[in-house]
Amino acid sequence: MMKDKKVLVFGMARSGIAAAKLLLLRGARVWVCDAKAEADFDGALDDLKAAGATLCLGEQHPENLLEGMDAMVISPGIPVEHPAVVRAKALGVEVMGEVEYAYREATGLLLAITGTNGKTTTTTLLGEIFKNAGRRTFVVGNIGTPYSGAVPQMKPGDVTVCEISSFMMETSSQFHPSVCAVLNISEDHLNRHGTMEKYVALKERIFENCAGDDCVVLNWDDPVTRGMAERVKCRVAWFSSRNPVPFGAFVQNGTLVYGTPEDNKPVCAPEEIYIPGEHNLKNALAATAMAMAAGIPAPVIRHTLRSFKGVEHRIEFVREIDGVRFINDSKGTNVDSTIQAVRAMNRPTVLILGGYDKHTDFTPLCEEILKCPISRIVLIGETANQIEKTLEKVGYHAWTHAGYEFKRAVEMAFEQANPGGNVLLSPSCASFDMFKDYEERGRIFKDIVNGMEGARA
């Protein structure tokens, strides 16, 4: 598809590097562009350079590189309003995201998952189900492993489970999973998309090419996702933790089942699911519906739900010191995700909260905190003052500031926690004001905790 084509890859994070490598493997003539200088990549681009890619680094105006290009592949972090994207479209240069390009080169069965929360857990769980079914499976996308990086190893009959973000759907056109899911919708990324209407429309693009025997899995309990069914052009399977559904995965008479209320297959009891909480029951229901729609037997799903231990950075127990349990929920990057985390706390908890500003309303979270055992809050980062004002507005006053000193924030939280309690990192914000990504934030939190000594003065 890309042999001998001139392609500019814009944005050299993990997905951009993977896309450039795949393009070179497919015989394209590749230029790679990023605002960072070559020295900032610490050798990460050496293989591309050796394979013949032209490096255009430290480039502040990539729109000047577009003359004569056949295509431009952009990383998810590049908005479609960027001058280079606008210029490319004006010149008739095809613009596609890394996921769109990878899809065009991939083979095998594709399942895709989007939504505001629960994507990574559900994607990882679904991948484990397919692996336990004996299928060669790649788990890729927004989860941290670029889709492009897996494509060279793919063979017919393989399975790809792809986590999809709204950013990735800005540049999709041919992307077409056989089974996909929209887990839920709540306010997020309005700093990028501007309105909830646009955000929802981008989420719906995951199923815009689905038709015929394809299957779209939707959350019956979420009014936004429930309304999406009107725009689906193939079969729909629902999931619900609260009600029977016309067809899909739900709980009936104390058993997770798949089918209709009158005719269904039992999978397991909800209490058999290893990962706790209602939000994880929903994730398990969604994964069950997707796996069953793809023909995976119920016993394989049952075994996986009983044994799957969750994902890193999502309500992850780290260590107990002097009777205080430290919990890493760095993946709590929005209000709804942190609401799920604080609801899961059953002991007095000091919460570390704050980070990069995504233009979010924190009122629902602050109101939820009043109902949960949150004994104190340590505020960090760019949104600290905004969260403080919202906490004060709802009548919660037990907060302190740690500024941008993350280690000090963890230490303060420990000092303010009591034996028998928790310290929970669930920032409700992205990490970009202080860290490269939520994974780095979570790893540093665990490093700090694992380096602490007990016997507090």
Task: Write the single-letter amino acid at 132.
Answer: N
Quote the tokens at residue 179.
């089974």
What are φ and ψ of residue 321, in 5° steps? -130, 125
Quick one: CA dihedral 178, 179, 182, 188, positive or negative?
A: negative
Contact 225, 183 (CB under 8 A): yes
Active site includes 407?
no
Closest to 236 measured CA to CA, from 260, 266, 265, 255: 260
Structure tokens at 82: 């960027």
What's the gap between Cα 6 and its chain centre? 31
Catalytic residue from among 6, 21, 119, 446: 119
Interhelix angle 298-307/119-132, nearest 10 degrees: 130
For residues 427 and 435, what is the distance between their CA atoms, to the nearest angstrom? 12
Q: What is the DSSP letter of 3?
A: T
- Tokens 């890394």 correspond to 98
Active-site pick, 117, 142, 219, 334: 142
What's the alpha-carbon Rg for the chain, to the nearest Å?
23
Q: DSSP strand E in 104-203: where?
A: 109-114, 137-141, 159-163, 179-182
Bridge-based pairing state of the strands 94-97 and 109-114:
unpaired
- Alpha carbons 147 and 107: distance in angstroms, whole number: 12
- Of 75, 74, 100, the C-alpha closest to 7 is 74
Calculated CA dihedral for residues 182, 183, 184, 185, nearest 10 degrees: -40
**Does the annotation mark 117 as catalytic?**
no
Separation of alpha carbons 163 and 220, rounded Å: 20
Residues 240 and 207 sit within 8 Å (Cβ to Cβ): no
Tell me which of 189, 203, 313, 358 is the catalytic residue: 189
Largest CA distance in the chain: 68
User: Which residues contact residue 443 at a Cβ distance below 8 angstroms, ignoring those fewer than 6 apart?
Assistant: none
Residue 36 among the catalytic residues = no
Q: Six-digit token pair at 318? A: 């780290």
438 burial level (CB within 10 Å; 0-12, 13-18, 19+): buried
Q: Which residue has the tokens 């700090």?
A: 448
H or E element in which residue 120 lies: helix 119-132
Nearest to 178 by CA among 234, 105, 121: 234
Supply the residues annotated as catalytic.
119, 142, 189
